[in-house]
Structure 1
Amino acid sequence: MNQQKLPNATAVLVLGIVSIVSCCCYGIPGLITGIIGLVLYKKDNALYQQNPTLYSDYNNLNTGRILSIIGIVLSVLYILYLIFAIAFIGFDALSDPELMQERLRDLQN
């Protein structure tokens, strides 16, 4: 029997990798690409579960899902870090190193 590749398995894998790489760009691109990767995973997984013998790229699909989940978690953690930094240090101190050092000293004492 001729097996064909799942239509979005490579896209899910690439989106998972991009999600991890771009999580440090303020978290938003990593979050978006990770969510898109999970949506595409869900579609292809349903297709694979209907007829597993017809498709061959399930390992790439599963790896892409894991990478997308890791990218989403890292993005959310980075967004929470940014919220924490803005709340305790202040937005103006993020662009002024001297003011940031002063605020960090204040937080330590």
Structure 2
Amino acid sequence: MQNQKLPNATAVLILGIFSILTCCCYGVIGLTLGIIGLVLANKDIKLYQQDPTLYSNYNNLKIGRILAIIGITISTLYLVYVIVLFSTIGQEGLMDMYKEMMRRNGIQ
């Protein structure tokens, strides 16, 4: 009998990668993708634990799950940073910082 592939292993891997890549979008997109990846990974882990000999791509699932956890962590930290930044200096302060950076780099 040929081993089957876990149904969500590839999706979990892709979601884990993209959760890290998109963590700089105020943390929201990366956090969302990471949570979805983690939920799918947990479903597949339960499926794998029922009969481990039946499935062949458990390593992809483990790697994707780890990447999703890393993406959730980075995105959460970035989201907290953005919230603290907005609450301390506000949107007007951020715009002033942006204009000053543009002025220093010679961009009008």
Query: By the TM > 0.5 criterion, same fold?
Result: yes
Q: Distance in 2 between matches of 1:27 and 1:100?
A: 24
What are the ranges of 5 or more consecutive residues in structure 2 without an aligned counterpart?
A: 102-108
Distance 1:54 1:80, change over 3 A: same
Distance apart, 1:41 and its partner CA: 0.4
- Report the equivalent of 1:15: 15
Q: What's the C-alpha RMSD, in Å, of the aligned pairs?
A: 1.7
TM-score by length of 1: 0.87
What are the ranges of 5 or more consecutive residues in structure 1 without an aligned counterpart?
A: 102-109
- Report the equivalent of 2:61: 61
Counterpart residue identity of residue 65, structure 1 = R
Counterpart residue identity of residue 92, structure 1 = E
TM-score by length of 2: 0.87
How big is each residue's C-alpha offset from its partner over 1:27-72, in whole Å with a ceiling of 9 and x where there is no partner?
A: 0000000000011001111110000000000000000000000000
Q: Distance in 1 between matches of 2:11 and 2:38?
A: 11
Output aligned runs, 1:1-109, within 5 Å.
1-97=1-97
Distance apart, 1:89 and its partner CA: 1.6
Counterpart residue identity of residue 32, structure 2 = I
Identity %: 61
The number of aligned residues is 101
Distance 1:99 1:5, change over 3 A: closer
Distance apart, 1:99 and its partner CA: 8.0
